[in-house]
Every structure is written in C-alpha cells, then in structure tokens.
Structure 1
Amino acid sequence: MTVNSATARYEGLGKTGKGHVATKSGVLDAAYGFTTRFEGAPGTNPEEMIAAAHASCFTMATSFQLAGAGFTDGTLETTCAVTLEKDGDGFKVSKSALTLTGRVAGLDKAQFEELAGIAKKGCPISKLLNCEITLETNFQSA
C-alpha cells in the first residue's frame, strides 16, 4: 500500500478567502481560491489538480498496458479536461475528458484503442471519479 498526502489551508472565508495547497513531496506548492477557480487568476484549483492526476495516472496505466502487451518503445501524451458545473446550490465535477495521443513502434490503431480503453477503466483515478469519463485517441504510426 502507498499513502501520499497534501495539505490545504484557507485564510478568510468565501470569495475573499485565499488558499494554499502543497504536496508532501514539495512538487506542488500553489495558491488557490475563488479567483483561481472561477476567474482565471494565477494559481491552481481543485479541478486542475484532478485533471493533472487523471492525465498522469491514465497515461501511466496505458504505458503499462502497452508494456504488458510486449511493446517496448513509444511516446504517450494525454490531455485531461475536467468539467465543473452547477449542481443545485453547489457544483459538481460532471466529466473528465481524456485525449490520448500515442506513437508506439509496431502497434496498430485498433490495439492502441483497445489497450487505452482497458487503461481508462483500470486507472486508479478513473476508479475514484464519480463522473462521466470519455476517451479520444489519436494514434500516430511509428
């Protein structure tokens, strides 16, 4: 079992509050708040961090699916777009849209799509999310 952690602090309340989030590893150390989440101010927001987590987890899962199928060389790049929408008096994450571009020597498009689909379902972050998850693939011949 692996346990990782992050800490978030929010000073002030509501729209005027200012937040700070940091990971134990120190890789993430950023400001967040209403303006970074809804107004495009510098800093991060929870949905951006979910998108980063989902993109990186899914890409690694796809890499392992490909390695398990005997492929040894390639490049994968995933963009993840997380949608936050109004839900009654609050908000909810309603969708995580993965777009995978891959170039893998000796692989064909059909097998690429099949293995990426398995990775989408098996990725730990996909299993965590309670929203619609979509996958678009862009296969490039190596």
Structure 2
Amino acid sequence: MKKKIIFLLISLIVVTFIAVPFVLIYILNHGNPYEKFIVTKNVSTHLEAMGYTDDDLLNQSYIEPKYFINDSVYHGHYKVVFADEPHLEYLYGVTKRDKEVVQFCEKETFIEESSYWERTTEKTNHSEDECTDYMN
C-alpha cells in the first residue's frame, strides 16, 4: 500500500513538471482562456443590452495586445467595428474588480485592414457617456 502511494505521488510530480511548460507556452501564445471567456461573454452581452444586433456590427473579435494597458481591466479586450463607421475601431474591456464592461476612450482610425492612421478620443456615433483611458 505504501509503495502505491509513493508511486502515485512520484507520478503526479512528474506529470506536473511535464504539463506546466506546455500550459505556460499555450497561455503565452494564445492568451489566458479564462480572460478570453470573461471578456467575450461580457462584452457581447453588453452590446446586446445596448441594442446592437449583428447587422450593426461589421467586425467583432477578442484581441490580446502585445503591450501593457490599463491595470484595472483584463489584459485581453474586445475590438468592435460598427457598420455605419467602418473606419473606426472601438475597444472594450472588462474590469477586474466588478467584471463591468468599459469602453476605452481612444479609438483607432484606420484606412485599410491593419493599416492604422491615428488614435482619436473625439466623441463619435457609438461613444459611450463614460469611458476609460487605454493606457492609464
């Protein structure tokens, strides 16, 4: 019985040492799956509550920035391009504390796919009354 317990413990330790690097590599390459779930679920629900339908949205997706952003929100956030403003990219985040959806004040103005022109904080058609700074 004692040998079985020792064998089980050693097996568990070996499996842990093998699995941890794979999990870390996955998270580094694909982002934290928990954050992705929370952000995607909450922002989609928020947009529906605001009255937006799939016809109003030209593009929506979860993105992981490669640099640090506002510490009060999860690192991964949600990119939305509305059909009536195809040149603007709105960014949404979810706060760590209350899991509330916030819109970032900064919006990317772009000319072509992945070719950004400038960042703007001006009030636009889909700007929410309250917003959060992207880098604060």
Please state which structure has a larger fraction of its residues in strand. Answer: 1
- Which has the larger Rg? 2
Tell me if TM exceeds 0.5: no
User: How high is the TM-score relative to the length of structure 2?
Assistant: 0.38
TM superposition score normalised by structure 1: 0.37
